[in-house]
Amino acid sequence: MPLTPLQDLAKSLHNCQRCKLATLGRNQVVFGMGNPHANIMFVGEAPGANEDLKGEPFVGAAGKILNDLLASVGLSRDQIYIANVIKCRPPDNRDPEQDEVNTCKPFLLQQIQLIRPKLVCTLGNWATQTLLERKVGITKVKAQPFHMKNFVIFPLLHPAAALHQGNLMDTLKEDFEKLKEFLDRNTKPAEPSTTTTPAVLTLNIESPQPAQMDLFG
């Protein structure tokens, strides 16, 4: 069976040597995982130690928090797709460097183009700034929709924030509740399915309001 375009892209990055992260101790490229037809995509920063070992995004402590938050709003990993801006683990989980972001960003954009989600939930500053293409703090833009040309960005705090600051867990839960409210307003009832494949949410997101980006004016 021939590979899909998304599988082709993953294969082309299997042993990527395009930036210095390839020689700084990474075990493997962490491409992404989930439903290739998802209408909702989550984008984080970069793989951590557990992700680097397993080859899957969000499988460590932050991943457990994300799973719980998804469940709290009625979502499962089978319904969504998860990826990171950076596909290789930075040494000691340091922040990505700009040249690494510049190298990896085109592959994230290709993933989005191939999956064609209607909603992209960015987790934390790096993912949010990379896709909004603006230097803006996550606390200023979190839990509100930003309408782009082909999809809506819904920034959220990174689940790891709650690991470092336990008082942020309540904020994360509140922001996921706002995500649920947004989904409830923009989700069509799922059509009955005779397959065992998890139903993909059918989103019907209204056109953007002209004042949406005034925040950056």
Q: Which bin fits 93, alpha (ψ -120 to 50), beta or left (φ > 0)?
A: left
Average pLDDT over residues 190-209: 61
- Residue 1 pLDDT: 80
C-alpha distance from residue 51 to each of 3, 37, 44, 48 (Å)? 24, 23, 12, 5
Alpha helices by DSSP H, 49-194: 49-54, 61-72, 98-115, 125-132, 138-141, 160-164, 168-186
pLDDT digits (tens, 9 = 90+) for 27-78: 999 999 999 999 999 999 999 999 999 999 999 999 999 999 999 999 999 9
Residue 193 clears pLDDT 70, i.e. is over it = no
Rounded Cα distance between 205 and 73, Å, is: 18
DSSP annotation of 190 reads: P
- Residue 139 pLDDT: 94
Burial 72-82 (b: 16+ CB within 10 A, else e): ebebebebbbb
Rounded Cα distance between 201 and 80, Å, is: 9
- Residue 201 pLDDT: 72
Residue 212 clears pLDDT 60, i.e. is over it = no
Rounded Cα distance between 172 and 161, Å, is: 9
- Residue 216 pLDDT: 38
The DSSP bridge partners found for residue 153 are 120, 146
C-alpha distance from residue 16 to each of 12, 19, 28 (Å)? 8, 8, 9
Full set of structural domains in the chain with CATH = 20-189+196-206 (3.40.470.10)
pLDDT digits (tens, 9 = 90+) for 134-161: 999 999 999 999 999 999 999 999 999 9
Q: pLDDT category, 217, cuts 50, 70, 90?
A: very low
Tokens in use for 175? 């922001």
